Amino acid sequence: MTPHHHPDASTLMSYAAGSLPDAIATVVACHVSVCEQCQEAVAEAEQLGRFLMEQQPDAELSKDARAKMLDLLDSVEPDTPDTEKAVEPREANGDIPLPLRSYLGTSFDSLRWKAMVPGMKQFIIPSTQGQLRLLRIASGTSMPIHSHTGSELTMVLKGSYSDELGRFGVGDVADLDPEIQHQPATDTHEDCICLIATDAPLKFTKLVPRLLQPFFRL
């Protein structure tokens, strides 16, 4: 797999710094897990961050602060493995990216998809910051044309789609901002499955999608 579309450089920098919302960071993690180019970019950003931290002057601690810190360290009990809760490692291959497998498994077919409209299903993934979902679009189906009130990060996990920005296949990421308006449409004989993160609601141009929007948390 060699992705041709990647997150913006600023998105990768924010990911390396740990400052992205949870939902968007998850999509970046999934892309980085399969993209050598972005793995190198993140490693370079982390190295730069360490260098900048090392240039900061050392702060002197008072005797009282040092004593409190030592007391706190002494009070922490070391972690011990819980053999009763140990989880067997999952198989190396599978449909679902590694960062998601710990709670989604390895197969799309095992998920409880919920129908939205004919040709489209979704699976909501719990997220503390932003909306994170899997979207399954049937062959020959297109999403309603829309723009965004915030950021949207989409990674193709299966199949492909085309829109005003080009063609996106497995591993590709569309890093979108409020200025982008598009209408993704599947362009192969198989379903297109995408991992999508948003930090604000979508903005639909037509009435019916706007009426359905609250029911599907779009």
Strands (E), 61-184: 114-117, 120-125, 131-137, 146-148, 152-158, 161-163, 166-168, 173-176
Residue 55 is predicted with a pLDDT of: 65
Position 80 scores a pLDDT of 41
Q: What is the pLDDT of residue 152?
A: 93
Rounded percentage of the chain residues whose pLDDT exceeds 70: 75
- Interval 84-117: pLDDT, tens: 333 333 344 678 899 999 888 888 988 999 998 8
Backbone angles phi, psi at 117, to 5 degrees: -140, 165
The band of 178, judged by pLDDT with boundaries at 50, 70 and 90, is: confident
Look at the block and give the residue holding tokens 């989604």.
104
| Residue 91 pLDDT | 40
- Structure confidence at residue 166 (pLDDT): 93
Domains present along the chain, CATH in parentheses: 1-58+94-218 (2.60.120.10)
Does the pTM surpass 0.85? The reply is no
Predicted pLDDT at 2: 86
Task: Identify the residue with better confidence: 163 or 64.
Answer: 163
Q: Which residues contact 98 (CB under 8 A, 6 or more apart)?
A: 30, 33
Q: Are 120 and 179 in contact (CB under 8 A)?
A: no
Q: What is the pLDDT of residues 47-79, one digit of tens each?
A: 877 766 666 666 665 667 667 666 766 665 544
Residues 6+ apart with CB under 8 A from 207: none
Report whether 27 contacts 154 (CB < 8 A). yes
Spatial neighbors of 113 by CB under 8 A, at least 6 apart, are 121, 122, 123, 134, 136
Among candidate residues 2, 54, 53, the one with its CA nearest the CA of residue 172: 2
